[in-house]
Amino acid sequence: MAQNCLKCLKYTMCFANFLCFMCGVAVLSFGVYMMVNFRMAALTPTLASFNSANMLLISGIVITCVSFLGFLGALKENRCLLLTFFLLLFFLMLVELTAACLLLMYEGEIAAIVKEDLNKGLEKAKGKNLNSTYVMSEWDVIQEKLDCCGVYNASDWGDKVPDSCCPEGCHTPNAQYRQKGCLVTLQNFFEENFLTTGISVIVLCIIEVLGMCFAMTLFCHISRSGLGYKL
């Protein structure tokens, strides 16, 4: 009976890690797509390395590597791989909890950095050089996607209000500017998704704890039975 339960545990780990591996590949692919088609480096240079595309890319790589390690360790009943899988999950859980705490502690400082970067990006977009053209294209994308205009409102652009500030184009009769600034829109977006993000972190930590428990249970069984790689 115990052997059947442990076999069930082994194949459950294999199946769960295979699903995680496929999810990791999907996240990695989406991160590459976002990096190519949706860049904000010119708007928020200070936070450029922490934008959503890079985060998706890094997350995809980590998920695929760790899940493949867990899948192979369970399938081959390899104690070394299972122990490495356990330690990596434990380390990732600590990193996630630390990052969540830092975001809560330095929320005001992060908001100030984003505000400063947006103001600098807007000043560059008003310039008359090749770099300003690139920055302007990013502003057009952001203003259309987020339905916003300028940092605070359309007056930030002065007499150079771009067409992306108007839903139907600013050169049409009775054109109306988008009411909200991009800074307020970004703040509202993060506030609205704060609860969802917190729940996601908690669920992810629970999954990681379960994975650690399964890996250690299988590791102990292999150790008692004398199977697998000898440490």
70-87 pLDDT tens trace: 899 888 888 888 899 999
Which amino acid, 185? T
> Across residues 152-172, what is the average pLDDT?
78
CA–CA dist 62, 25 (Å, integer) = 10
Residue ranges and CATH numbers for the domains of the chain are 2-94+202-225 (no CATH), 109-186 (1.10.1450.10)
For 198-207, which contacts have Cβ atoms below 8 Å and span 24 or more sequence positions? 198/100, 201/96, 201/97, 201/100, 204/96, 205/93, 205/96, 205/97
Instruction: For residue 39, give the DSSP letter.
Output: -
- Report pLDDT digits (tens) over 95-141: 888 877 887 787 778 778 778 877 877 777 776 554 555 566 677 77
Looking at residue 63, what is its pLDDT? 86
Looking at the predicted structure, is the pLDDT value of residue 17 above 70? yes
Of 227, 231, 219, the C-alpha closest to 70 is 219
Tokens at 137, concatenated? 């294209």
Mean pLDDT on 190-212: 80
- Judged against a pLDDT cut of 50, whether residue 32 lies above it is answered with yes
The token pair at 7 is 């076999």
Task: Read off the tokens for 216.
Answer: 């250690």
Residue where the block lists tokens 């302007």: 136
CB atoms within 10 A of CB 147: 12
CA distance linking residue 64 with residue 69, whole number of Å:
9
Instruction: List helix spans (H) across 38-78.
Output: 52-76
Confidence of residue 43 (pLDDT cuts 50, 70, 90): low
Summarize the confidence of residues 55-79 as an average pLDDT.
86
Torsion sign across C-alpha atoms 143, 146, 148, 152: negative
Centre a 10 Å sphere on the Cβ of residue 83 and count the other Cβ atoms it contains. Answer: 16
pLDDT confidence of residue 229: 44
Confidence at 57, pLDDT banded by 50, 70, 90: confident
- Does residue 43 contact residue 120 with C-beta atoms inside 8 Å? no
